[in-house]
Structure 1
Amino acid sequence: MGVRGLQGFVGSFCPHICTVVNLREMAECHRKQHSSSPPTIVVDAMCCLRYWYTPESWVCGGQWREYMGALRTFVQAFEEAGIRLVFFFDGMVERDKRGEWVKRRHKNSRDVARIFHHLKSHGEQPGRHMFFIPTGLAVFTRLALKALGQETHCSLQEADYEVAERGLWEGCLGILGEDTDYLIYNTCPYLSIRELCLDTLDTVQLSREKLCESLQLAVADLPLLACLLGNDIVPESLFESFRYRCLSTHSAASKDLRRRGGTVLAVADHIAQVLRVHQGEKALEELLPLGPHTALFYKGVASYLLPGQISPWLSHAPKTVVAPDKQTTSMLTDLQPQRGAPLVSDPEALQVARAHHVQGECYLVYNIMCSGEIECSNTLEDELDQALPSQAFVYRPVRQRVYALLLGAGEGGSWDLATDGRGAKEVKEWFVYAGNPLKDPDLVRPLPVSIPGGVPSLKTLWLTQEPGVRALRYEVLLACFNLSSMQEDLRAVEGPFRALCCLLVYLFLQVDTLCLEDLHALIAQALCLQGKSMAHLVDLQLERIDPRAVQLASLLLRGLTTLVFVNSACGFPLNVNDFMPWNIFDGKLFHQKYLQSERGYAVEALLEQNRAWLACFQSLKAAVVKACLKESRRIGSRQPWGMPHTGPRARQQTSSGCSPQGQPWREQGPGSRQYAHEQRRKYSRPLGRPSDPQ
């Protein structure tokens, strides 16, 4: 993230630009000078996730109640100081930054592989140096902050730009984050989340003015410096030879060519001593080896300009240049990142989706309607043991039906989405799974949604308040999971657990390798969680960590984020709090129940002898088993046939890659089960990209 090498340079060469400040004192000073506006800090939430996630356990799926407590403590500390917080989350990936996004995903995949190697070798969680944020952390953090009454937004472009813009617009105390791009933007002060002491509200402020003094540059030169060093738009490799030439001719830096800080000094000196001499006489492309990357470079410089700001380095930019893809680009009208034209014809529905997106109330809906493109980052999935299929495939049929709902099926079921030239409507999916090089997106076609009477319009689902529409929204949600037939059975399930029940039915229909012990563990942990204090969950100790349980926990959490997606697309028929992880999932508790269940603990033992939970357990289990039997899916046991579940005993030694019937998942396709009205198909080649993009 940010400018390559700048963080290290500041620490080694310019520590004086870092000043310890007290946010409580800054707020008091602001109140004296601006009595009409509260002191405000804009928070780059994506930079803060690692700071906020303080629970010791992370590999089992996340300690969500403990995490919710940490967020509450964070918010309360600022409320007590009278400081208003405004949180921003990334709402999309800009096209210019897709390459950097892919690069990070590949790095994360290597990190995930190391985590699973450690789990298999040691049976315990790796140290914090291998920390990987729990699945869905960004989505659930946004919803948690909204539940805590905080102002929360999703960006319409890269979040750092909107953070910097909001900070400048409101005259905020500062931007709280951990991204050197905030030293480049000409906005309010940059405050470090990494250095924040919550008890005292002391942190470090990094001064861009002092940085400029050290580099003998003006603030307006910083975007040029950032692009020559490399950032998320301009690849670091683009100016590698140029930087080396600067370094070799710069006397102060050439004493140690290997020091990254020397490169920053050398490039800054070149800007000050060479480029500025010719400023106004020659265009920048005559002074730098831009070649075919001119458009990309100018876009990178312009990406740091907030509304109303200009750059002396863009005043002589050509009106048109040849872009890297050989297409002519208008530089003065297309310097800022652009999104594709909307894919739907109903502007009112699109406007509603946009409003929900900006307010952080929905997930993926606006991205699909606006550009037909979505992405999903890494999940804790074991690429070497695909006994459980990737979440990218498990939840794809659900996404495909939502695509139809959002893009194609209006009143009467008519299609109005532009086609790919072959008559097919496709959404671009950038999902991480084993064997996917992410060179191109998967092109995924919508699947029809089956609703008696036809699929309602988005305006009906989102805007109509007539009686019966809430029931219709719920019906559409079940149809997106292809579970319309179990609507009556769900009535027997206690309200807060209906969403979980839907998800479990879908999972067990899709994944043939899930067994009765898995079902018992998933239900038991959700019920037992209701009676656990945070202190009890913190103190819970596990005898070992099972890699399959780690992956199953991640699969469930991706299911919960999928529920967020479907629920928002259908007009929010479900109470979102019912399926937030801090209410129905705890990583360590699930892992404990998983280990107990595979050793043969009786249901009463799994439920800790609590008879009050037994009836709810039986109704949940019955609903799942009955729904699966309707689709000829029998949930088998890993336990030896005929042996009672009377208590703990050794697990039957079977391959983790086998179903209860002994057939490996790979030989059954991707562990997915399509339903009666759909053609049965396999996604094929679990270790590679699917040959069929559906």
Structure 2
Amino acid sequence: MGVKGLQGFVARVCPDACRTVDLKEMAEKHRVDHPDVPPVIVVDAMSCVRYWYTPESWVCGGQWREYLANLEDFIKAFMAAGIQLVFYFDGVVEAKKRDQWVKRRLENNKEIARIFRFIKTHRRQPGTEMFFIPSALPTFTRFALKSLGQKTVCTLQEADFEVAAYGLQHNCIGILGQDSDYLIYNTCPYFSIEKLHLDRLVTVMYSREDLCSALGLSLTHLPLFACLLGNDVVPERLLEGFWHKCLVTSPHKNSSYNRRTSILLAVASYISKVPCSYSSLKHLEEMLPLGSDKTLLHRGVESYLLPGQQSPWIRLSVTNCQSFSLQQQTAVCQDMEIFQVAKEQHIRSENYSIFNILSKGEVVCSNSLEDECDTEIPGQALIYRPARQHIYSVLLESGKGGACPLVKEWVVYFGNPLQQAELIEPVQPSVPGGTPNLKTLWFAKGSEVEKQRYSTFLACFHLQDGMEELQALEAPVAAFCCLLSYLMMQVSSLSLEDLNAFVALVLCLKGKSAAQLAGLQLAEVDSRAVQLGAVFVRGLTTLLMANSACGFPFRMDDLMPWEVFDGKLFQEKYQQSHRGCSLEELLEGNESLYTPFQNLKSFICKVCMAKKRAIQSRPRGNGFITGTQQREFIPSFQQTHRSYFVPPYHKQMRGSLWRNPQAQGREHGLGHPDQRRRFHPPPW
């Protein structure tokens, strides 16, 4: 999060601290000074995703092939200058930041509601002032960069600390990001991603030394300065009285300054007169209304000390590596070999969520573009909860004797106030022959265990009976069918038209370039298709979690959105399908896709029928959802210790279409008489 207002303050009040720099020239100087070490920039990737995501369309679920091409161009620009990049991603939400995380998630819910109101009113994407990153963008960015051959690190703690430590320890030419905390850490230079001109590799470098000169401070003062302005350790609400005292005595009384600028100058003036000593820090702690915790300032200053650094504000010499203790973190996992492998895979960005489940018994999922007024589609967090419960059981080996721990879920869905974690019980999947243990799934070799990995993965999505058909498909298509089958079973409101749109999407996407997809223009945007796109993409992260837990029956690259999804193309297929377009139009006149289309659709329908879920035709035409009905909130999801989401396929459909024999003939066609005559699905 950094220090509120500091970045803008530097740009407005301390312009000398903002230097335009040529990264190619800096890299060349580094090569001269250090001929045996290549120039490296460490990238705070989480603060860069907005810079990287430049596709025009963002509301439809993500333009993933365009985004992948952008990342490739970004890397090539630095490679051409001989600069190596190391990308860091947040791997945890630390407890000290939970309140801020919750606050931001609830604010995001309001922003998302505004976006959907705009779409329903105008039937188009809002302007960039309402931009919201596509669901799971940071997650898939990690895997994208790794697939492009980049060193990608997922952190065990707050990313800014690890980024600053890496930059210092490896003599990097700088840190690329957008977080004012990098002005506070005593580390390598800090470059702005926001100001980066990629074509010339020119950006702005923020100088700590020039900032200190403008404020009358030393580098040693900066950690205390940050704490007394409010940061992740010291809440701003505790500092109002102190700020008032500083403002009263401040020599900077310029009426043209806003209040935040005045506070920054006043606090700097105050601490410039404070001796840098432990006793001074203790005096400040006694003076401030820090409640019962009088160590906040100490901990705040300490949080900025990198490995090997010391501070006069702290009595004892401190080497603050914020070390990660295995003993402190092994909350659920007793097997240290399993734990160590999970940790190493986590750091190397090779698995998804597994380490946090094994170490802290915790899962975190942020906001998605979901419409709180569409009462037909549950929140994605609830849709995928049954699958997650099976994954938890595989990881925590429930049913093997002894009590199985509950998993804490911090997941965003409408009606969840996020006041506390929901405690979710693992549920054993129905794996033929029983669920193998983790050591078998992760370490054993041979064709039999490969079959076990695959069948365990499928069982997490209630698809263990479809193994033979799925294994005959290309891996990305098989994964797509797993996800779509699960979705059709879980969400009873999904129709035959929705199914047709998804199947046409995956078939037509193959072979399309990023440029072709970028050129696709939509006449309008449908809000329900926006939500379905977000739900589908979040489902891909559930596939990643299951794949990681089951010992990787799929390559992670086969589960990436650029293999099976494009937001604009899905919007097009969704609208075509619900308008009743011909199969020829839906599949873009490509006759070679007709048979694969019917085969994939037939498989999914057969799976659903086996679970007593008949997929009905419910064309919506151009009827966009415009209602304002609020989604009914079910208190049990947040008020009980154990939460369950009963899959809809447990409730047999009893609508008029189910009883009407004429309507039954439409269940597996496209809903148009000519199409039914021309394209008959194979019977089963």
TM-score (norm. length: structure 1)? 0.88
1:61-100 to 2 correspondences below 5 Å: 61-100=61-100
User: Aligned-pair distance for 1:494?
Assistant: 4.1
1:136-215 to 2 correspondences below 5 Å: 136-215=136-215
Structure 1 counterpart of 2:101: 101
Structure 2 counterpart of 1:371: 360
Structure 1 counterpart of 2:231: 231
1:356-435 to 2 correspondences below 5 Å: 356-409=345-398, 413-415=399-401, 425-435=405-415
**Is 1:351 matched up with 2:324?**
no
The CA deviation string for residues 405-456 of structure 1, in whole angstroms up to 9 with x for no partner, is 11234xxx42456x6xxxxx21111111111111101111111122233322
Distance in 1, matches of 2:482 and 2:450, equals 17
Distance in 1, matches of 2:622 and 2:284, equals 70
**Is 1:674 matched up with 2:647?**
yes
User: Aligned-pair distance for 1:299?
Assistant: 2.1
Task: State which of 482, 495, 511 in structure 2 corresponds to 1:502.
Answer: 482
Distance in 1, matches of 2:632 and 2:506, equals 27
1:265-276 to 2 correspondences below 5 Å: 265-274=265-274, 276=276
Aligned length: 641
User: Aligned-pair distance for 1:213?
Assistant: 1.3
Secondary structure, counterpart of 1:389 in structure 2 = coil
Secondary structure, counterpart of 1:42 in structure 2 = strand
Distance 1:628 1:236, change over 3 A: same
Structure 2 counterpart of 1:302: 302
The CA deviation string for residues 313-363 of structure 1, in whole angstroms up to 9 with x for no partner, is 12279xxxxxxxxxxxxx999988976443211000000000000000111
RMSD, matched Cα:
2.7
User: Aligned-pair distance for 1:665?
Assistant: 9.7
User: Aligned-pair distance for 1:295?
Assistant: 3.1
Counterpart residue identity of residue 370, structure 2: E
Distance in 2, matches of 1:395 and 1:139, equals 17
Secondary structure, counterpart of 2:447 in structure 1 = coil
Structure 1 counterpart of 2:662: none
**Is 1:621 matched up with 2:601?**
yes
Task: State which of 437, 452, 470 in structure 2 corresponds to 1:472.
Answer: 452
Counterpart residue identity of residue 647, structure 2: Q
Distance in 1, matches of 2:320 and 2:555, equals 44
The CA deviation string for residues 51-102 of structure 1, in whole angstroms up to 9 with x for no partner, is 0001011001111111111000000011111111000001000001111111
**Is 1:119 matched up with 2:105?**
no
Secondary structure, counterpart of 2:295 in structure 1 = helix
Distance 1:348 1:390, change over 3 A: same
User: Aligned-pair distance for 1:382?
Assistant: 0.9
Secondary structure, counterpart of 2:294 in structure 1 = helix
Secondary structure, counterpart of 2:492 in structure 1 = coil
Once the two structures are overlaid, the 10-residue window that deviates more, 370-379 or 448-457, is 448-457
Distance in 1, matches of 2:380 and 2:436, equals 28
Counterpart residue identity of residue 400, structure 2: S
User: Aligned-pair distance for 1:281?
Assistant: 9.3
Secondary structure, counterpart of 1:352 in structure 2 = helix
Distance 1:542 1:527, change over 3 A: same
User: Aligned-pair distance for 1:198?
Assistant: 0.6
Once the two structures are overlaid, the 10-residue window that deviates more, 80-89 or 289-298, is 289-298
In 1, are the aligned partners of 2:488 and 2:494 still within 8 Å (CA)? yes
In 1, are the aligned partners of 2:14 and 2:211 still within 8 Å (CA)? yes
The CA deviation string for residues 360-404 of structure 1, in whole angstroms up to 9 with x for no partner, is 011100000000112111000111223211001000011111111
Task: State which of 342, 345, 349 in structure 1 corresponds to 2:331.
Answer: 342
Distance 1:277 1:313, change over 3 A: closer
Distance in 2, matches of 1:284 and 1:604, equals 74
Distance in 2, matches of 1:536 and 1:143, equals 23
In 2, are the aligned partners of 1:509 and 1:672 still within 8 Å (CA)? no
Structure 2 counterpart of 1:541: 521
User: Aligned-pair distance for 1:276?
Assistant: 4.6
Counterpart residue identity of residue 229, structure 2: L
Give the fraction of aligned pairs with identical amino acids, expressed as a percent: 52
Secondary structure, counterpart of 1:572 in structure 2 = coil
In 2, are the aligned partners of 1:182 and 1:190 still within 8 Å (CA)? yes
In 1, are the aligned partners of 2:185 and 2:304 still within 8 Å (CA)? yes
User: Aligned-pair distance for 1:236?
Assistant: 1.7
User: Aligned-pair distance for 1:195?
Assistant: 0.7
Distance 1:530 1:305, change over 3 A: same
User: Aligned-pair distance for 1:129?
Assistant: 1.0
Structure 1 counterpart of 2:579: 599
Distance in 2, matches of 1:467 and 1:316, equals 57
Once the two structures are overlaid, the 10-residue window that deviates more, 595-604 or 505-514, is 595-604
Secondary structure, counterpart of 1:383 in structure 2 = coil
Distance 1:115 1:49, change over 3 A: same
Distance in 1, matches of 2:355 and 2:295, equals 28
Secondary structure, counterpart of 1:449 in structure 2 = coil
In 1, are the aligned partners of 2:476 and 2:558 still within 8 Å (CA)? yes
Task: State which of 419, 433, 438 in structure 1 corresponds to 2:418.
Answer: 438
User: Aligned-pair distance for 1:523?
Assistant: 0.9
Distance in 2, matches of 1:679 and 1:589, equals 33
Task: State which of 455, 463, 466 in structure 2 corresponds to 1:483.
Answer: 463
In 2, are the aligned partners of 1:494 and 1:616 still within 8 Å (CA)? no
Distance in 1, matches of 2:315 and 2:532, equals 55
In 2, are the aligned partners of 1:43 and 1:175 still within 8 Å (CA)? yes
**Is 1:19 matched up with 2:19?**
yes
Distance in 2, matches of 1:299 and 1:277, equals 15
User: Aligned-pair distance for 1:235?
Assistant: 1.7
Distance in 1, matches of 2:276 and 2:16, equals 26
User: Aligned-pair distance for 1:287?
Assistant: 4.3
User: Aligned-pair distance for 1:536?
Assistant: 2.0
Secondary structure, counterpart of 1:552 in structure 2 = helix
Distance 1:335 1:175, change over 3 A: closer
Distance 1:240 1:284, change over 3 A: closer
The CA deviation string for residues 135-188 of structure 1, in whole angstroms up to 9 with x for no partner, is 110111111101100000100001111101100110000000000000011111
Distance 1:48 1:278, change over 3 A: closer
In 1, are the aligned partners of 2:575 and 2:622 still within 8 Å (CA)? no
Once the two structures are overlaid, the 10-residue window that deviates more, 75-84 or 300-309, is 300-309
Structure 2 counterpart of 1:692: none
In 2, are the aligned partners of 1:174 and 1:188 still within 8 Å (CA)? yes
Distance in 1, matches of 2:237 and 2:323, equals 22
Counterpart residue identity of residue 272, structure 2: A
Task: State which of 534, 541, 549 in structure 2 corresponds to 1:569.
Answer: 549
In 1, are the aligned partners of 2:21 and 2:203 still within 8 Å (CA)? yes
Secondary structure, counterpart of 1:291 in structure 2 = coil
Distance in 2, matches of 1:406 and 1:503, equals 20
User: Aligned-pair distance for 1:257?
Assistant: 6.9
**Is 1:43 matched up with 2:13?**
no
User: Aligned-pair distance for 1:278?
Assistant: 8.8
Distance in 1, matches of 2:600 and 2:505, equals 13
Counterpart residue identity of residue 146, structure 1: K
Distance 1:281 1:533, change over 3 A: closer
Once the two structures are overlaid, the 10-residue window that deviates more, 569-578 or 33-42, is 569-578
In 2, are the aligned partners of 1:512 and 1:672 still within 8 Å (CA)? no
